[in-house]
Every structure is written in structure tokens, then in C-alpha cells.
Structure 1
Amino acid sequence: MVPDHLYADVCDFIENTHLGARVVYYRIKQRQNYFPISPESDSLLSKVEIKPDSEHYQWLQSQLQQRFDYSCCEHLDDFRRSEKALSLQGQIKSGRFRHEKDDRHNIQDKSRYVLGWSNREKIDLLSARLDNLEQQQKALKTELSQFKNEKDRLISQSRNALNLADFNFTFSQINWPYYSDKVAQLQLEKQTLESASDVLKNLQQALQEHQQKFKDNEAALNRHYSEKGATETEIASDENSLNENKSLFESLPETARTDTFVSLDAIYKQHIKPTQIRVNMLHNLSIQLRSKVNENISNLEAKRTRKLNQMISAMGEFASAFPNEVTELDKSAEALPEYQQLLKQLTDEDFPRHEGRFKEMLNRDTIRAMALFRSHLDRQDESIAARIRLINQSLHELDYQAGTYIEIDSISSADVDIRDFKVRLKQCVELSTDDNLYSEEKFERVKDLIEQMRNQPKWTEKVVDVRYWYLFNVVERYREDNSEKECYSDSGGKSGGQKEKLAYSILAAAILLQYGLLDNAKRRFNLVVIDEAFARGSKDSTRFGLELFEKLGLQLILVTPMQKLDVIENYVQNVHFVDQKNNRSMLLNMTIDAYREKLEQNKKLQQYARMLELQ
């Protein structure tokens, strides 16, 4: 039961929704004057009670009186005499002739009806039936699993039996106990012979002793070889070291030799306790002196590295504060002369004296440039809005369906990056609340925005492209009162024909805009070339597109791989067939009338050929 104020919404919903079931609904008009009658004692109406607080009480009572005023008959004599009656077994008599009885279900089945104003009893009954069916299902699954296991066992047993039947050997070939016993007898005979001979035992013992001595002598020989090789290697290393030191000593000038000995003597006196030196102590002393020298070198290297890091850090701070000045300079020790030259230039030209005026000019020019940048984006925004208005103007003149037209509706994009960019751009150019209109804070905003645009090219490409600032929907409206019929936010859920009609309509409006035909200016030639024309669309959508272009007065060249010709031929005047043979293209031109004559002749020839085949 649907109230009158909800009728339109319910009707639309049921029409556009696949319910998967049967539904009947009634439109409840406003209450009218209604005078109920008192039902007879045996009437069905006397057995039905309507909930008193129902808002549709009068309508329900009226419908029951008009449609269900049946007599409840206990005896068939009363049933046959009544014009509208019900029997105890569910036979229904509606009029003098029509009788009906439905025995597809048990009349006492409580799951088929509801008594009272609550369906709890029916729900409990259905739940109990569901539980019973689920238990039966589990039992059947268990039984099925047992049968499957038994089936697998029988299949395996059958397969083994078949494999056993494939043996083609004699019994002597597969009589393994015989061969096993024979091997055991031979091994026992061997052990008996070995235990009975003393000479054999003595020879085996002597053989083991000589083998052990041989292994010991071989190990001693390998050890002596290793010691000899190590000694020879040590001697060769000492000789190489001596020759290298001699060559190094002889290559030094006389003064360097003296200075070297003086330095070594000072290091020796500083780190080595005075004692008598022997030859075998020179190696250890050289190691100690080398360790002390390396320690001094490490300390000096650490100091140099620390100073180098401080210098590179200072270069980084300078580059961060003044990026435009160091675009061609590296942050490395090799670039130190260039930084020193830059410092000398700043000092000689006395740049700090002009810092205030330079900063004021930089702030003003920067803000002015940002204002021009924003004005450029606003002009693009206005251009898109103007084009949308022109396209909507042309779409208004085109019939999308009988009595409707479509228009493009643009809404601001909800993208977080775009909204943040527009807010930041506005903050960069709007007036400040203090007296300093071009404050340091605003300049920092401009600086941050420009640096992000420079460092994030993909982000910049998205936010400065005004086309991404909007989302576009297509709204279908009634031409009579311009009310909205349907809004297409995307093509999801639409049929192929609906998608193509949308695409053709918007394409036609864009062509009108491109040719400048929106001001009703007539031109003699407005050419449109469509490749792979209507290759995937339906015939209805193809017909819609061709009629649309015909209404707009556009001249078409349609390139198609022999598809939709039965539709296209009604909208063209000439056809051109292209074929390729022997790497040469051939073109056949004819009017549409000549094409139809050729087509009719071909049909007649085919019919004549089929007749000859039948004869």
C-alpha cells in the first residue's frame, strides 16, 4: 500500500529495479467519504480484524468489502447455494461459474500464511525447518564422503589387480628367497675359510701395520714439505723487502736521507725507551714506529675530515638560502675556489648595503608575478566555462530523446591537491592584514609554492591544468519545463546504445563549436571524416548518429570495413570501394543508385546459380 505522496518515487524505483520476485502494490488516494456496512456472521469479513491505528484503515476496509466478502461454508450445500463462498478444504467460489482449489500445498501448512499482526510464529517455523534441512544436509555430506572413500578404495584395489595381471615372468625369476639363501651360504663359507687359516691372519695383520707406517711417513713428508715452503717464502719476502727498502733509500736525495733519519730518530726517542738494540729487534721496532706514525696520520686526517665536513655544511646552508647563486656550483672541496671568488665579489661590490632595497623589489616583483600567474589561470577557467556554455547552447538545440535534451554540468573537483593549490595561490596574492603588504611571511609562501612546483613536476602538471579543476556530468532535461530527468556522472550501468548516443551528441556539439556554427552562420562546406565508422555500435545508435549529423548540415566521409552498410547506404550519395591486388590499390567509384543496381543484379545472379544447383 503506497500513499499518494510517495506514489511517483515508488513507481520509478520498481520500474528501474530488478526485484527478483513478484510484487503488487496499490496507490492509496486521499480519504473519501466511506460508509462501512456490517458483515454477515458467516462472512469472511467478520473473521478479519484491521489494526485500529493503521493510517490506511478505511481503504483496507473498503477493499475487503468490495473484493473479499466471501461466505465461510461448513457444508457443501451452503457452498453451492452461495455466489461467493469458501469451503473448509480451501475451495473458492467467485461468482456462479468460476471455482478454484489450490492443492499444491497443504492448507494447514503454517509456513504459507500469517495469523495476527506479527510474523514471529512463521519465522520460528521456517527457522526450525531450515535447521532440520541443514542437519539433513550435513548427514548426507558425511554419507557421501564415506561412499567416495569406499569408491576410491575399490578403484585402487582394481588398479592393483590389473597391474598384477600384467606380470609375464616365470616363478624361478621372481623367487627371491632362493637367491637370498644362496648369498647367505656363500658369505658363511667365506667367513669359515678366513677363520680357519692362521697364515692369512698374520699376513692381514702385517699388511695393516705396513699401511699405517706408510701413512705416518707420508704425513711426515708432507709436513716437512710445508715447513720448507714456508721457510722459502719467508726468505723470499725478506729479500724482496730488503731490495725495495734499498731502492727507496737510494732513490732519495742526500738531504732527504738526512731529514728522514732525523725524523725517525726523533720519533724513536719520543716513543721507544732507550735500550740496547739487537738485529732481531729491528722488525718489532719498525712495527711500533709504523703504528705511531699511522696514529699521527689518522689524527691529522680526522681533523682534515672534520674541517671538510664543516666547510661542505656551510656550502649547503648557503645553497639553501641562496639557490639561484649556486646553480652551477657543487658542494665539494673542489668548488672551494669558486665560493671564495663569490665571497670576494660580494665583499668588493658591497652587496649587503643594497640588501634592503633589493629585498623590497624582489618581494614586490614576485607577488606581482604570482598575481599575473593567477590571472592567467583564471582566464583559462573562464575560457572553459565559456566553451561549456557554447556547447550547452548547441546541445539545447539537439533532441537527445523525444522531448528531452542534454547539457554538460561542471562542478568543482574535490581533489585535495587542487583545492590546496588554489588556497595557497590565493594566500600568495591577497592583501595582508598588516601595513607591510609584501611581508616576509607572504614571500616565504610564494617561495614554498614555487619550490614545490619545481621539485614535483607531476603535481605541478596536475594543479596548473585548469581542466582538472572540474568534474563534468551530463544532465538530461525535459524540454517542456527544463526539469531534470536523469544525471549521467559516468557511463557505468548504461547500455552500449546509451553510451554511444551520449558520445555522438557531445561530439556533434563540439563540432559545431569547432566550425563556429553556434551563431547560426551558414557555411557551404563543413567536412567531418570518421574512420572505422560505427564499427562496434548497434544499428540503432548508428542511425541516431547519422540523423544527428544530417540535422546539423555536416558533410561526412565515412571509412568503414564493410559494416553497417544496410544502414549507412540510406544517408550517403556516393560509395568508393578500395581493394589491393599485387601491391597496388584500386578504387571503384559509383553513386548510391548504381551501387544498389549492382547489388540487385548480384542477388539475382546468386538466386539463378542456386536454381541451377538444385536442377
Structure 2
Amino acid sequence: MIALFGMRSDKALTLFNQIVGVKVLDDLDSFIRTNMLEEVPAEEKYQELKDNFQNLMEAKTNIDKVKEQIAQLEPINTLAKELMAIDTRIAELEQEKSVVAYWFAARTVDLCNEELVRCKSNLRKLEDELKALKVKKSELEQEQTCLSVAIEKDEVGQQIREIEKEINQKVKMRDNRKAKAEEYDKLAKTVELTQSPDAEVFDANRATAKHEKDALQVKIDRQLMEEKRQAQNRQDEINCTISERVDTIRYLQQHKNNISGRVAEIRDEILEAVGATAEEIPFIGELIRVKDIECDWEYAIERILHNFALRLVVPEKYYKQVNEYVNGHNLRGRIVYQRYEGTEPLREFEDRTLKVDSLLRKVEYKSKCLYLDWLEDRLFAEFNYSCVDSLADFNYLQEKAVTKEGLIKARGGKHEKDDRPETRGKEHYVLGWDNKEKIAMLQAEVRQLQQDEKEVATKVRRIEADTKNAQEKRETYSKLFDKYDKFDDIDWWSCALVIQQKEEQKRQLEETNDKVKMLQGQLERVRKELGALEEKFNEAIGNKALLENRENILKKQSNDCALALAQIGVVDTDAFESQHTDLLNVALVGLDKMRDTLQSDINSALRKQRETKGSKSGDLKNLIYRFKNPIEEITAKYRDWRSDVNRLPEAVEFVGEYQTYYQRLLDEDLPGFESRFNKYLQENIINKVSAFNMFFQNWRQSITKTIDQLNSYLVGIDFKDAPKTYIQLVAAKRLNVDLKEFQDLLSSAIPNIHEMNSTIDGSRIHFEQHIEPLMSRLQDESWRKLVMDVRGWYTYKAEEFYQDDDQKRNTYEAMGQLSGGEKAQLTYTILGSAIAYQFGLTKNGLDSSFRFIAIDEAFRAQDEDKARYLISLCKQLHLQLLVVTPSDNIHIVENDISYVHYVERKGDRSVLYNMPISEFKAERERSMEV
């Protein structure tokens, strides 16, 4: 219809309706902006730009995700390289061990062969010496025999020999007992018993040894072993607790809540399986916390809400998926979840008045909680407990009461208080959405546990030392009791006394026989010579045995080294010798010590390398775990993170796959994403932003053009007659902070191609600094609606000018400053120009367009002069006019109309008469004559 009637827009129909019941305009600025200026679909342009922007943001998200993955993989790659270098160094050290083993074995063979030559030479010399000694010994033994025979033939001599025989027997007995006595004294000194005892003390010592030996065995078996077992059990418990706390801290550092353990792992598995976020399927404990000012009640509230806090809230969106996963998998634990179907529709009409001491007044809820109403309903229904400060108040209440100490009175007379250690500590608290305090508390607990473990370990070492000392002392007592069962075993003093008596008898016999004395003198000389010779001979035999033993040792050492060389194979030792030239000067006797020193150094280096490898492997394992199980902030931002890394193994041994993935991200994915991003940015977004800006510029120009066209109509309309004036519309730039912000953002978003292309990252930087802020700000719908209506960029007013000289006479910004007639006259003028513009009329009125308006109220509300002004205005604008007015006002328009539609009421019916104005006048004159 708009095209058929030649209208500019449907605003023409709106103006038509306004003119039918024409009234004074209240807001000139609003009327011009709303009815006289075209509204352009800016929202459509924004949505088109937004769609393109969304595609680009997805590309940028991919870039950000890849960069984040690269940032997390970089330390993994660094650690992998360090571990590879460590493995290389370990291999070098292992090779060095082989070289050292080979070189020292070869060197030992060479030195052994050299010393074997010297041994054989010395053995030949000793054998010659022994032959000479044997001849001399034979001669002396023959002489000794002759002298002994001569002495034996004498009776006194025979008696002397008997005494000597007894003396020799007693000497042996004395020496044997004395050796035992010395050993006895050493043992007795160790356990602080009397040394060199007589028979009575010996028996007392033996009884003490028996008692102490048995007592120490009892102490070892019943006391020390039990203390050690208890201490080791305590040590194991502490280490187990430390391991659990460290795992809990590690998990909490990856998350924001206070819930850990298997139940939290099950939630993570559910989230990954159904593709939800932690905000969509939260633990109830993540949504509530005890207010800081109510910390005295934290223990009691945690006890009441503990099990409820561990439940999950599952919205309808994921309900079936969660059921399917939970039903189809072995969870290796327990999970409880609530189905969320919305809140009760009549909840607003329920009485939710809370008592002053209500538990619900002591908790607060997480902001922007999706399930707030539902959670409040459940807490009110199930946990509206009274928190009482005294047992008197507790006893008074019938049900649902709790004390600060955690005594709970539930429905049905049930009372409960749980003070088990495993539930009382703060480490078991689960309420709240911030776990910094819990992590700090757990870290402090771990430090204390580590200190306790050190103390227990010290205690274990002390018990082990006490046990060792007790065992050694018991062994001493056992030797004293078992080895020395009678006093005679150590009584060497009685033997010494007998020897002394026999020596005196021998002396007296020798003094009575001169012949025997002479023979004995000669025999003594021969014996001395024979003794000396015997010593020399024995020394030679010993030296020969030593040389033979040394020869055997050298041969075995050489053979062992040769066998080792055969097993090792050929090894290049040139580099080793050039680095250790001093080893060539080391003798065989010092070679083993030097080898042990070098091998010890190598083993020490190997141990340090392996310790470093173990430490770095642990760090790498943690990094891999965090990469595959990132914090919630990352999984919420990059939904496909887990699917990207799911195929990567968790074992440190396969870190090469992470390095390959890291290199692929650097070489392929990141350049590819950035290339597509820049290409799409330059080919689409920048053009779209430019087009978006041009849309507003065109709209602004359209408004200027429209105002100019309206003014071209208004300049030909006489606003006042004496003197003649005309009206002009003025559009002044509106001063507004929001508009200024939008225009600045839009202007900044238009790129300077030269500057943007002057750097590699120019497009991306321009996007992040200018385009992205614009799109982010436009997400605010109310702000967007305000700033994207260009008609609102201006304030509109009317100015009156003299026809003669075009000098400004007056400015009209609001109707309040005008009289009633002036308001009507200005209203007719503005409305007239507006309808002329919307109907597409020109000054000569020859355009093919709809030129019809109807006026109803004007002729009742205004005086005749203003009514005639309106009719004159319509003539100037070439408008077809339908005036609806009572018959007594027809005289105002009868000279300006060509046709009359006269309505007359007859009874309960209305009759319409259609006639030309001439016929109407004739009928009226006839009726007046009658």
C-alpha cells in the first residue's frame, strides 16, 4: 500500500492518524525524531556484523587456546629435553664406568704380569737359601742329639729333664688360661662386671650374666620391638596422611571449591562425559558458605549440611545423560545428585519468615547462582534449624536445634553429635566457593605432619640403636655365661705358682752336677744356634709361602681381569688415558683404591643424575596432569580442550608425544589459525566494520538531507502574516557521553590500512584494541539501542525567519514557552511539513501520490483564525482535505471545499446526504426562506 500511494514509509499512516485528531505537540524534539525521520534497521546491521564477529572470535579462541596449550607445553618440552640430556649424561657415565672397568682391568693384568716375573725371581732365591739352611740345620740337630744322649745317661740329668717336662706343660696351661682370662676381663669391662675375679666373684659374675642376658632378651622382644612396631606404624600413618593431603591440595589448586576426593573425581568424570561445566552441574556445597561473622557456628553448620553439600545439582538439560553415564559405569565410589526441574510456581505466596536464630541467617549464597531459588527452598524445608547458645534453649525447643558444639536435635526426637577425628577437622569442611583458606590450612597441616614424621623417624632410629646396643650387651653376657662355665678356665695364677716351684727344684739339681752343667751349657749354645737357625728357616719358609700366595693372588687377579676384559670386549681408552695421565704412575697396590675412587665418583654422579631425573620426572608428571586436567577456568573458556588432549598418554615415558604435539602446534596449528584469522579479519571483518560505519554515516547524511527537504517545504509556508515569516527545522549535535563513546569506538574500529600492515601483528592488534572493545560494548542491548539510533544523535528545534530578509526572529525548542494559538499554529506547520514529506508532495502538487488527510478535532478546539490558517496551510501543500465538523462550523470551510457529506439523525438511525457545496448552499438558503 505504501508503494501504491507513493508514500515514503508507514510513518505516513501514523501521521495521517495524528492529523485526524490533531492536537498540540508536547515534545517537538521527540516528534521530529520519531515521526519525521526514517528509522533504519540498525539492529539487522549489528546482527550481521555480530555473526561475522562470532566466526572471527571462534578463530581467535582457537588461537588463544593453542597459545595457552603452547604455554603449558613449553615447560613440558623443556623438562623433556632436560630429561633427555640427563639420560644422555647417564649413558655417558655408564659408558665411563665401562671404560674405567676396562682400563683398570687391563692395567691390572699388565702390572700383575710384571710383578709375577719379580715373584718368580725372588722364589728362586729363597729356594736356594732354604737348601743352605737345611744343611746347617741338619748339622746342628745332630750335634744336639749327641749332647742330649750324653746328658741322659746321667741320673741327675734325667731328673732335670722330668722337671723341665712338667714345667713346659704348666707353661702351656698358664698361657692358655691367661689368654682366656684376658678375654674374660675385656668382656667383663664392657658390661661393667668385676675383672680378674676370684672364684666367689666369678660365680657372682656368672649369675649376673645369666640374669641380665635373659632380661635383655625380654626387653628386646617385648619392649623395644613393640615400640619400634608402634613407631613405624605411626610413621606409615603420617606418610599416608601426608600423601592424601598433598593429593587433596593438588586437586584443590586445580579447582575453586572445598570438595575433593573420589566424589570430586566422579563429578569431573560426569562433566567430561556430558560436556557440561562445573557451574551447570555444581556441588551444593559450592553454592553456600558460612558468613565470616558467623565463624563460631561453622563447625555445627558443616556437620548439619555436610552430606547435603556433597550432592550434585543436575539440570533437566543434562539429566538423561547423567543417568546414562552413572548407570553404565562403575564409579568406584558414591555420588548423590538432585534433579533440578525449576522452582515451585507458588513459592512467593509461602510464608518464609526466618527466626532470628535461624541457621539460614548465618549462611550466604554464591552470586549469580543458577539454582538460587531452588536452593533456598530446599534449605528452608530441610535445614531451618535454630542455632542456640545454651542447653536450656536447646532443651526447650521441640525439634530442629543445634548448639555451637555440634549437638543436633532433628525431627522425631533424634539427637546426634559426631566428634570423630576424621570429621572434626577443618580439612573436612566442604562449604564455600573459595578454597584458599582450606589450601593454606592443609599446607600448614602437611608441614606439621612432615615435622611429626621427622620426629617419629628419629624415634625409630633411636629404638633401633637401643635394640642394637641391647643385642650387643646381651651377646656379651651370653659369652660370659656360656663360654666360661668354671673358674679353672681363667685361673692362670695357680699354674704360675707351680712353674715357679719347679724352676727352683731344677736350679738346685743343676747346681749339684758340674758335668751335666757343662753339657747343658754346650746344649744350650747349640739350641740357641738351632733356634736362631729355625727362626731364619721359618722366616724363609714364611717368605716363600707369602711369595707363593702372592703369586697365586696375582695369577687369580690377572685371570679375573682377563676374563672381565673378554666379557667387556674391546674398549677405546685413549681419551680416558689422555684425561688421567697420572694413573700411569700408580702402582698395583694403589690401583684398586684409585679405581674405587673413580667408580665412587661416577656412581655419585650417576646417583645425582638419577635423583635429578626422578625429581624432574615428578615435575613433568604434575605438568602433564595439569595439562590433561586443567583448571575450571580453562575448560570453561575452551570447551574442546579435553577432547584435544584426550588421546595423549599420561605416562611420563611417552612425553615424546607431547613434544610432537607441541611442535605441531608451533609449526602448523598456530600459524594456520593466525593465517586464517588475519585473512578473515582483513577480508571480512574490517570490511564489515567499515560497512557498519558507512551505514551510520549514510543514515546521518539521510537525516541531514531530510531536514533540508523539510525546510524546503517550510520556506514556502507562511507561518505568520504580519510581517510574513517562515519556519526552519534545525538538527544540533546532541552532547551525550554514551553517544560519544560509541562514535569514538566506531571511529577507532575503522583501520588505518598503512599502519595496520606496517607490522606482522598489526591486524590482530587492531582487532584486539579496537574492534573487540566495540563488539564487547555493543553486547549491552539497552546501550546498543540507545547509541545505534542515529536520529538520537541530534536535538531538534524550530527557528522562525522573516520572509523579506531571512533574518531569524525566534527559536522554538519547547511548546511550554508559547501561547495556545502559537502552539496550534506551530503544530499545524510541523505536521503539515511532515505529512508533505511523507506523502512525497512537491510545491506544484503535480506528483502522483496520496494527498488526502482528514481533520476532526481542530474545528472544535481552536478559534476560526487558526482553523482558517490550517485550511490555508493545506492549500499551500496541495493536500486533499476532509473536515469533520458540526454543521454550525461549516461556514469556516464552505468557501474552500467542493463537496459536502451531511449526516442527519432521524430517530434511531443516521442518514447520509452527499452533495456538491453549491447544492448544499442552495438547500440551506431554501430552508432558511421556509
TM range (shorter): 0.3 to 0.5
TM-score (norm 2): 0.29
TM-score (norm 1): 0.42
- Whichever structure has more helix as a proportion of its residues is 2
Structure of larger gyration radius: 2
